Structure 1
Amino acid sequence: MTTPSSSPASLSAKATEFLNLHRAPEILQVVNVWDAISAKTIADVPGTRALATAGHSIASSLGYQDGTVPLDLMIDSISRIAAATELPVSADLDGGYGNAGETVRRAIGVGIIGANIEDRMEPLADSVAKMEAAVKAGEAEGVPFVLNARTDAFVRGAGRDPKEVLAEAIERGRAYLEVGASTVFVPGLFDEDTVRALVEGIGQKRLSVIGIPGSLAPARLQELGVARISYGPFTQRVALTALADTAADLLNGGVLPEGIRALN
């Protein structure tokens, strides 16, 4: 039974709100979460307007390698995150689990209003069909599902001519937008020229990127026309680095620092 907070009308409103955040002049920053408490913590930070899950981080927290979490377990994980906040939540749904439409339908059923789905550089026609199935699943559920279609052109482009990789990323991105994707996620460490070329090729406020050490600052990405920046597994790594450093300090005779906040 659908709860009031995840009724089709409520989810449709959240999806519309989430899409509008991508089209606004200000770049949308989503700080990735991996469980209910990380979701609650980030949702309460001033300036947070939406949340996105990190599949890699969820996998790590459950003892799996990235991309190997069983679908039922992933749906359970993202359902707990969606239930922890009233903000729009987009989920990392890996490669679509073999049936992107059905996976999106199940995600919507637990309160998710958008998703990343990877093309994994499968044949273009197959990738387009996968992205289209995800969009149509949202339509069938009465939710304008916000698909952040991911192309792994750069992630899997080592050893190739960078110009060819760029051209393929643009070609795939345009194809995904044509079948209803809201934005195109192109992960990688990019300089200004590459970001500019991607925006020119894919479209203003249609490009989504990842923030990693060495990335351009959000303000500059905004000036270049990027719609969205997320942080993938790096937010969990920051948290675990702090945990490891604290443990090391305690085991070497230290004490807990002042200023610890109760965030649960």
Structure 2
Amino acid sequence: MDKGAIFRKLHDSAFVIPNPWDIGTAKYLASLGFKALATTSAGYAFSRGLPDGGVGFEVMIDHCRELAAATDLPVSADLENGKGDSPESAAETIFAAEAAGLAGCSIEDYSGDPGKPIYEFSHAVERVAAAVEAVRALKRDFVFTARAENLLRNRPDLDDTIRRLQAFEQAGADVLYAPGIDDIDTVRTICSAVGKPVNVLATPNFTVKALAEAGARRISLGSKLTTAAFGALQAAAREMLDKGGFEFSKQGVGFGDLQALFSKRDKN
């Protein structure tokens, strides 16, 4: 099976897909035993000193190409709202993602326009339908995830979110995703309202077991690993600046372990 087919098969049961933000973190997470990886738009932006949404499409695709080539695992990409606003640009996003070696990608209905942050319903569905048509034109398997962004963008309208996810399912999306859920009852409600696999963004309120029992199939981290790394960096800096100590260095991954991992010859 190609990577897309392997990735699709993983959705038969619940699994965690972590989000590296560069080649090193991709290789390290792959070495720990995860079955697939996903990019993080915010995490990558932060690693470049930019805000979420601050990385242009072509630069993001280059980043995705690097990560896909860095590991034998399937890699799915967070491509935000894609190459542009139109349905045609959504289709172009799929072709660019496949050419970058990705096993899948997500496109969201968040426009990036502060005045109209969420695409109008019919337009959002048209974009998903165009992306699905592009996926079906590919010569290899590719898992397309359609995202409904209401809950993450200060629009706590669960009914509209479910309506969008159901429409995205009818348009042919492979996986459905409504980031911003923070309680298990809402996860259960969304999973029971659709027939396709649902991706859930992990929060401290959740466990893998609880999400699996609620019906979730894919559990992603978004930018949480990136912010955790910045948190460790912040704690180390505060210890040095405020206490003049270096105890933080006991908590790091061993230099020799990383040296050995990154000295291995790439298979790709």
Alignment TM-score > 0.5, same fold: yes
Question: TM-score w.r.t. structure 2 length?
Answer: 0.85
1:188 Cα offset (Å)? 1.5
Matching residue of 1:254: 246
Q: State the Cα distance separating 1:193 from its structure 2 match.
A: 2.0
Out of 3, 25, 36, which is 1:14 matched to? 3
Matched with 1:138 is: 135
Report Cα offsets for 1:75-133 as digits up to 9, x if no partner.
11111111110100000000012111112211111111111211122112211121122
Is contact 1:113–1:143 with CA below 8 Å preserved after alignment? no
Deviations 1:131-184 (A, max 9, x none): 1222222222213321121101212344x6xxxx22111111111111221111
Letter in 2 for 1:208: N
SS of the counterpart of 2:16? strand
Sequence identity percentage: 36
- Say which SS state the counterpart of residue 116 (structure 1) adopts: strand
Q: Structure 1 residues 193 and 212, CA, compared in 2 at 3 Å: closer, same or farther?
A: closer
Separation in 1, partners of 2:251, 2:10: 37
Q: Distance in 2 between matches of 1:224 and 1:243?
A: 35
**Pairing 1:60-75 to 2, within 5 Å after superposition:** 60-75=46-61
CA distance, structure 2, for counterparts of residue 200 and residue 189 of structure 1: 15
How much does 1:189 deviate? Answer: 3.3
Q: CA deviation at 1:243?
A: 2.0
Within-5 A mapping of 1:114-125: 114-120=104-110, 121-125=118-122
Alignment length, in residue pairs?
Answer: 243
Per the alignment, residue 162 of structure 2 pairs with: 170
Q: TM-score, normalised by structure 1?
A: 0.86
Root-mean-square deviation (CA), in Å? 1.8
Alignment check: 8 A CA contact 1:135 1:145 kept: no
Q: Which residue of 1 aligns with 2:266?
A: none
Q: Secondary structure at the residue paired with 2:2?
A: helix
CA contact (8 A) 2:181 2:187 kept: no
Q: Do the aligned residues in 1 keep the contact of 2:182 with 2:203 (CA within 8 Å)?
A: no
Equivalent residue number for residue 198 of structure 2: 207
Bigger drift between 67-76 and 254-263 goes to 254-263
1:195-230 alpha-carbon deviations (Å, 9 max, x no partner): 221111123x622110123x3211011011111110
Secondary structure of 1:154's counterpart equals: helix
1:223-234 residue pairs with structure 2 within 5 A? 223-234=213-224
SS of 1:33's equivalent? coil
Mapped partners of 2:28, 2:178: distance in 1: 27
Structure-2 residue corresponding to 1:8: none
- Counterpart amino acid of residue 42 in structure 1: L
The more displaced of 227-236 and 244-253 is 244-253
Partner of 1:151: 148
Any unmatched runs of 5+ in structure 1?
A: 1-11
Q: State the AA in 2 paired with 1:155.
A: L
Q: Are 1:54 and 2:54 counterparts?
A: no
Is residue 96 of structure 1 aligned with residue 82 of structure 2? yes
